[in-house]
Structure 1
Amino acid sequence: MTKLIINADDFGYSKGVNLGIIEAYKNGIVTSTTMMTNMPFAEDAAALAKANPELGVGVHLVLDCGFPVNNNVPSLIDEEGKFRKNDGMSWNAEERDIEKEYTSQIEKFYSFGLVPTHLDSHHHLHGHEKVFPIVEKLANKYCLPIRNVTNHAEATQLNMVQYFDQRFYGDQLTSDVLLKILDKVSSYDSAEIMTHPAYIDEALLSGSSYALQRARELTILTDKKILQNILDKGVKLVTYRDIG
């Protein structure tokens, strides 16, 4: 039987993102989410996590969106104190600043009175050759699984799922796209599908190039025929608590 995690990224980005993720959990197939602890609505996300304790909640590590949590990471920020955008950021960033900031983000998650289920990262930066050793070190320090973004679980001792699928993303999403992904992941013992459901709000529209598509994702993820397909396949919907 396949153990399948369906993770909603960007918890904490905005109120609309938070509420969309909870809707996709309560009335859809999302089982897990990852919080951007540096974003303005992280505290709101933490309150929703506490109100929905069966939802798996991990840390969505950030180096290229919003402001840092740590106030002394000069190689990561621009003249306004914001994270630099992804174009070249990971090459200019110093490893010590990356580790300091990621540690601060994880510690902020714990400060909410929550224990994370796992780690992943915004725009998959933990798959970068410069960043991965830092995240691996922190995952081992905090005894947390990590998203298998490169699908090379055999290369590390970390507790990863066997297969990670990031194809549920883009302008052309339909229920059929997700059904094809489900056909693929059901051939593995454990897998994760990345999603980004949301209700659209001003913060999302003005801050993200991937905004309207999230409403379509929410519709698909709460489509009852998708859940029935999962049940028919004998796939078990789980969180990272159930992997290992």
Structure 2
Amino acid sequence: MIKVIVRGDDLGYSEGVNYGILKATSEGIVNNVGMMVNMFYARMGYQLIKDEEKICVGLHANISAGKPILPVESIHTLVSDSHFRSSASYRESKKDDVDRDEVRKEIGAQIEEFRSITGFLPKYLDLHAVTSDNFSLGSQDAAADYNITFVPADFSGKLVKWNKTNLKTIVESSQSDYNPMKTIKKAILNRKKGELLLFIFHPGYIDNYLYTHSSLCIPRIQEADLLCSEEIRRLFKNVNIECVRIDCLLNN
């Protein structure tokens, strides 16, 4: 049996994204979901999936979409006017101008908002979009404050030591010729013994907010369709693959 993590990120981003994640969890193979608690549709998204017992829900820590939880004057390196800075703003900066302590405070506030929405602490914490070292470190600080497991990701394909295993992140949705099934098959074929594959997907449907605020649209539809398909179920059955919850891995 080969164990893999299949994660659906961005719950709360928009109505369309919420319904795509609902389909991918209720009808598909996704059983780990990252929620963006600062977004307007976060509570609606959680209400949609809360009765799905197979799901492990974590905090998709966010400093690049929507409005922050904390007052903007207390986290000035993370905001532009009343909203978070865009992910492009972080990428274009010549240095890591994110304040680690500001991240710690904001992500701590997001953890509390998660608890307000769900009634429990996040089962894990991971990062949305921004690759700043200080964002990662500040988020890890906040996770440690609450004794929450931080799930790292290396988008270059390098292995990361995590939970006594070698974690390999698979996410190719930004590629121009993206085909999610090819991505999955290639990762499984190239998997080496002892590697734990983390598949990161963003299933969703396009609504006006997503269309006007995100560069990732069409791949969400492709993933929502594939993750619920007989094709993917047949592949996982034939290769003897088990989709595992992050919290179950931590308890083993």
Give the TM-score category using the shorter length. Answer: 0.7 to 0.9
Q: Deviations over 1:170-228 (max 9, x none)?
A: 34233233222233347445321000110111111111111122111212222211111
Match of 1:75 in 2: 77
For 2:116, which of 111, 115, 120 is the aligned residue? Answer: 111
Would you say 1:220 and 2:226 are equivalent positions?
A: yes
SS in 2 for 1:37: coil
Q: Which runs of 5+ in 1 are unaligned?
A: none
Report the Cα offset of residue 38 of structure 1: 0.8
1:22 and 1:76 map into 2 onto residues whose CA distance is: 30
User: Is the contact made by 1:28 and 1:224 (CA closer than 8 Å) also made in structure 2?
Assistant: no
Match of 2:20 in 1: 20
Q: In the alignment, residue 197 of structure 2 is paired with which amino acid?
A: A
User: Is the contact made by 2:123 and 2:148 (CA closer than 8 Å) also made in structure 1?
Assistant: yes
TM-score, structure 2 as length reference: 0.85
Match of 2:5 in 1: 5
Report the identity percentage. 25
For 2:242, which of 217, 232, 236 is the aligned residue? Answer: 236
For 2:188, which of 179, 182, 194 is the aligned residue? Answer: 182
For 2:133, which of 129, 135, 155 is the aligned residue? Answer: 129
The structure carrying a bigger strand percent of its residues is 2
In structure 2, the CA distance between the partners of 1:32 and 1:3, relative to structure 1 (3 Å rule), is same
SS in 1 for 2:60: strand
Q: In the alignment, residue 102 of structure 1 is paired with which amino acid?
A: I
Would you say 1:163 and 2:164 are equivalent positions?
A: no
Q: Deviations over 1:19-78 (max 9, x none)?
A: 101101122221111001111101112212322232111111111111101113222111
Q: In the alignment, residue 51 of structure 2 is paired with which amino acid?
A: A
Q: In the alignment, residue 221 of structure 1 is paired with which amino acid?
A: L
The CA RMSD measured in Å over matched residues stands at: 2.2
1:159 and 1:34 map into 2 onto residues whose CA distance is: 22
For 2:149, which of 145, 150, 160 is the aligned residue? Answer: 145
Report the Cα offset of residue 85 of structure 1: 1.8
2:56 and 2:66 map into 1 onto residues whose CA distance is: 24
1:22 and 1:169 map into 2 onto residues whose CA distance is: 22
SS in 2 for 1:98: helix
Report the Cα offset of residue 3 of structure 1: 1.9
Match of 2:65 in 1: 65
In structure 2, the CA distance between the partners of 1:220 and 1:170, relative to structure 1 (3 Å rule), is farther
In structure 2, the CA distance between the partners of 1:117 and 1:191, relative to structure 1 (3 Å rule), is farther
In structure 2, the CA distance between the partners of 1:137 and 1:45, relative to structure 1 (3 Å rule), is same
In structure 2, the CA distance between the partners of 1:185 and 1:37, relative to structure 1 (3 Å rule), is farther
In structure 2, the CA distance between the partners of 1:18 and 1:31, relative to structure 1 (3 Å rule), is same
